Amino acid sequence: MESSGGRAEAPGRGPRVLVVGGGIAGLGAAQRLCGHPAFRRLRVLEATSRAGGRICSERSFGNGLSRNPFPDPLSGTQRVSPELCRSWGYQGLTNRIMASLPEDVVVFNKPVKTIHWNGSFREASSPGETCPVLVECEDGGCFPAHHVIVTVPLGFLKERLDTFFEPPLPTQKAEAIRKIGFGTNNKIFLEFEEPFWEPDCQFIQVVWEDTSPLQDGASELQHVWFKKLIGFLVLPSFESAHVLCGFIAGLESEFMETLSDEEVLLSLTQVLRRVTGNAELPAPRSVLRSRWHSAPYTRGSYSYVAVGSSGDDVDLLAQPLPADGAEAQVLFAGEATHRAFYSTTHGALLSGWREADRLIALWDTQAQLPEPRL
């Protein structure tokens, strides 16, 4: 007889659970499940070589700057100066959760290609056990599971919608993924030999007086992309590093990602020369920037409720599959699945806990049944 729940198939051993993505949502889910005795067979499959996803300290930008002059407060997650301390917290949060997980729970460099659900799969090592889900990785590796928590960014889901789920997602859920917005926001760090700003200066605001509405088209963007810069945050000096952090969002930010470091440095030097009125202003000695839209496993920065979408789409995205069953084969977490706190780190963490709690509740309910579901 076909069985459906984890408990019935693996009495005493608990269900096989896979978490796809080792960002804060995936790590939060894993941490919660690890605290429960039934979830011993747990793996987090992470596409890249590090945990944390969009919580990304400067070190992962590469070796663009000499001597790694950035301490952790400049991690990938702060927006403006009051949040500097929060970023410290974010990186610390990732590190703490990682340290709390049993070794080998997180598998790195394991990009998932397709999630086969609504099936009946077996693993050679335990032929008596059937699982409704099979997670197929890009390297050909396959992992059967009773439950899979998908935490990949919405940008990635949008791009791979046609191939990531087999059978494809129900129409309504696919629609929600198309409708919810996923924007790009990047930071550009400029390191200077000497500060040209006053010691008490915290933010350099750029105001364009000749603003004509920004126009579409790559040829136009070439000449105007930098006008989208909000301004430059003056970072606290660290040893002899004097660093400004520029913020740029939208299409112009995506365009910036296609330019070389030299092109960005040249354009921003010209901007700063215009702003200061000093045509001799020395160019920064190095540039370092995020490129979230080009990152293959992210494809943008964070979600927003786009025109034509609503909180209901977020809830739809968060619904487990299959839609009509109590089984929860495929669950959805991640920043974009939190109706109230989408786009934020705490929204991502809460969503991971939410889905872990869903599985724990499912397990506890099944454990109370007089006999296993067969």
Ligand X SMILES: Cc1cc2nc3c(=O)[nH]c(=O)nc-3n(C[C@H](O)[C@H](O)[C@H](O)COP(=O)(O)OP(=O)(O)OC[C@H]3O[C@@H](n4cnc5c(N)ncnc54)[C@H](O)[C@@H]3O)c2cc1C
Residues that bind ligand X (CB under 6 A): 20-26, 45-48, 53-55, 76-79, 83, 111-112, 151-153, 156, 185, 187, 290, 292, 297-298, 301-302, 334-335, 343-345, 348
Q: How far apart are CA 112 and CA 204, in angstroms?
A: 42
Q: Which is nearer to ligand NAG, 166 or 257 (CB)?
A: 166
What is 278-343 written as a DSSP string? -TTPPPPSEEEE--TTT-TTT-SSEEE--TT--HHHHHHHH--BSTT-S--SEEE-SGGG-TTTTT
- Cα distances (angstroms) measured from residue 105 to each of 161, 345, 356: 27, 22, 15
Strands 147-150 and 16-20: parallel
Strand order in the sheet with 203-205: 203-205, 231-234, 242-249, 185-192, 286-289
Find the shortest distance in angstroms from Cβ 320 to ligand NAG: 13
167 makes contact, choosing from ligand NAG, ligand X, none, with CB < 5 to 8 Å by partner type, with ligand NAG
Q: Which residue has the tokens 């930071």?
A: 187
Q: Could you list the beta-strand ranges (E) of 146-200.
A: 147-150, 165-166, 181-183, 185-192
253 makes contact, choosing from ligand X, ligand NAG, none, with CB < 5 to 8 Å by partner type, with none
Find the shortest distance in angstroms from Cβ 27 to ligand X: 7
Q: Which is nearer to ligand NAG, 323 or 369 (CB)?
A: 323
Find the shortest distance in angstroms from Cβ 331 to ligand X: 13
114 makes contact, choosing from ligand X, ligand NAG, none, with CB < 5 to 8 Å by partner type, with none
Relative orientation angle of helices 24-34 and 345-368, to the nearest 10 degrees: 30
Q: How far apart are CA 251 and CA 183, in angstroms?
A: 9
Q: Which is nearer to ligand X, 10 or 106 (CB)?
A: 106
132 makes contact, choosing from ligand NAG, ligand X, none, with CB < 5 to 8 Å by partner type, with none
Find the shortest distance in angstroms from Cβ 45 to ligand NAG: 23
Q: How far apart are CA 322 and CA 216, in angstroms?
A: 41
47 makes contact, choosing from ligand X, ligand NAG, none, with CB < 5 to 8 Å by partner type, with ligand X
**Contact between 167 and ligand NAG per CB under 6 A:** yes
118 makes contact, choosing from ligand X, ligand NAG, none, with CB < 5 to 8 Å by partner type, with ligand NAG
Q: Which is nearer to ligand X, 92 or 195 (CB)?
A: 92
Sequence-ordered list of residues with C-beta below 8 angstroms from that of 108, at least 6 positions apart, any chain: 22, 46, 48, 49, 50, 51
Q: Which is nearer to ligand X, 114 or 366 (CB)?
A: 114
Q: Which is nearer to ligand NAG, 176 or 190 (CB)?
A: 176
344 makes contact, choosing from ligand NAG, ligand X, none, with CB < 5 to 8 Å by partner type, with ligand X
Q: Which is nearer to ligand X, 45 or 233 (CB)?
A: 45
Find the shortest distance in angstroms from Cβ 119 to ligand NAG: 8
- Cα distances (angstroms) measured from residue 44 to each of 94, 98, 111, 234: 14, 11, 11, 38
User: Considering only CA atoms, which of 153, 56, 152, 48 is closest in space to residue 109?
Assistant: 48
Which residue of 118, 269, 294, 366 would you call a contact of ligand NAG, by CB under 6 A? 118
Q: How far apart are CA 308 and CA 296, in angstroms?
A: 26
41 makes contact, choosing from ligand X, ligand NAG, none, with CB < 5 to 8 Å by partner type, with none
Q: How far apart are CA 40 and CA 168, in angstroms?
A: 29
Q: Which is nearer to ligand NAG, 81 or 118 (CB)?
A: 118
Find the shortest distance in angstroms from Cβ 330 to ligand X: 14
What is the binding site for ligand NAG (CB under 6 A)? 118, 167
